[in-house]
């Protein structure tokens, strides 16, 4: 018996715990398998898959490269505009909500109520908001902008709150002690601490919103989604291909840009 083997014996034995967790996982897995019903699978599914792949490999280049109201480029710009405007509006409106739900700023009951409201706002899927806003403004990109703003408020204020609750209050105390008034405290004590964090959060959210905006068109709220679903329902796979290629390139580009900007913000 050498030292190594002795030491190995001291390893905590959590076998029962591991087995229980694995069993629970297996049970859940088995339970969820009941959702799968392969009997309804369409027989020509394989053929459709091949059609999709050939469509994506041979995209409709004319649609992809011409610039007019129906062209992919215009649709992509519209999608970006929806996401951009929605993010900006949401980013501004989320600030008061974030402060109202930060437990170190307002009394606990107020923070709690605001949090519950925000959970509701966050959980309702963007598409539902889209359908509701279409009743307000009629179909089109405007409804998309309003939807994006509302979902952004929910998501952004949650992320803002973490930044606000991490505020260094020592700075504020020392500013009080040298006689700063409340506006000076906000301007020189709070904004410098939060600005970079908030900006980074907003850029990240813009990245996410772009994906959501691409989907909103499915309900008629503008952007690239509507032509995509029309092309799919009509089995025009090369159009689908060119739309998807445009979307993927745009999202990758924005993601790369947002990562670079955020890295710059973190480094200062």
The residues binding another protein (CB under 8 A) are 25, 28-29, 31-38, 40-42, 45-46, 48-49, 52, 77-78, 80-82, 84-85, 88, 119-120, 123-128, 131-133, 135-137, 140-142, 144-146, 211-212, 214-215, 218-219, 222, 225, 228-229, 232, 244, 247-248, 251-252, 255
Q: Rounded distance, CA 203 to CA 210, Å?
A: 11
Nearest CB to another protein, comparing residues 113 and 252: 252
DSSP, residue by residue, 58-83: S--HHHHH--STTSHHHHHHHHHHHH
Q: Smallest gap, in angstroms, from Cβ of residue 179 to another protein? A: 28
Give me 131's structure tokens.
């359908």
Q: Rounded distance, CA 227 to CA 204, Å?
A: 27
Nearest CB to another protein, comparing residues 132 and 167: 132
Quickly tell me which residue has 């009997």 as its tokens: 39
Nearest CB to another protein, comparing residues 172 and 215: 215
Q: Smallest gap, in angstroms, from Cβ of residue 203 to another protein? A: 12
Q: Smallest gap, in angstroms, from Cβ of residue 67 to another protein? A: 13
Q: Rounded distance, CA 188 to CA 165, Å?
A: 18
Q: Smallest gap, in angstroms, from Cβ of residue 82 to another protein? A: 6
Please measure the distance between the N-terminal and C-terminal CA atoms of the chain and give it in whole angstroms. 56
């Amino acid at each position: 018996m050498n030292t190594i083997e002795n030491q190995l014996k001291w390893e905590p034995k959590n076998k029962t715990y591991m087995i229980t967790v694995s069993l629970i996982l297996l049970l859940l897995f088995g339970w969820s398998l009941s959702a799968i019903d392969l009997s309804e699978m369409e027989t020509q599914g394989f053929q459709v898959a091949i059609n999709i792949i050939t469509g994506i490999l041979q995209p409709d280049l004319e649609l992809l490269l011409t610039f007019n109201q129906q062209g992919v480029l215009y649709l992509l710009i519209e999608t970006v505009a929806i996401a951009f405007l929605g993010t900006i509006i949401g980013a501004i409106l989320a600030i008061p909500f974030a402060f109202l739900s930060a437990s170190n700023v307002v009394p606990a009951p107020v923070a709690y109520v605001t949090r519950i409201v925000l959970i509701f706002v966050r959980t309702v899927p963007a598409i539902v908001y889209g359908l509701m806003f279409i009743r307000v403004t009629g179909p089109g990109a405007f409804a998309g902008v309003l939807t994006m703003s509302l979902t952004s408020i929910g998501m952004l204020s949650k992320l803002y709150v973490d930044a606000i609750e991490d505020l260094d209050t020592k700075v504020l105390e020392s500013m009080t002690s040298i006689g700063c008034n409340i506006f000076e405290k906000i301007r020189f004590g709070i904004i410098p601490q939060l600005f970079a964090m908030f900006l980074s959060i907003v850029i990240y959210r813009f990245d996410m919103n772009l994906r959501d905006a691409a989907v909103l068109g499915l309900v008629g709220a503008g952007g690239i989604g509507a032509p995509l679903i029309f092309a799919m329902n009509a089995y025009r796979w090369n159009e689908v291909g060119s739309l998807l290629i445009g979307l993927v390139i745009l999202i990758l580009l924005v993601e790369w840009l947002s990562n670079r900007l955020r890295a710059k913000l973190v480094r200062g």
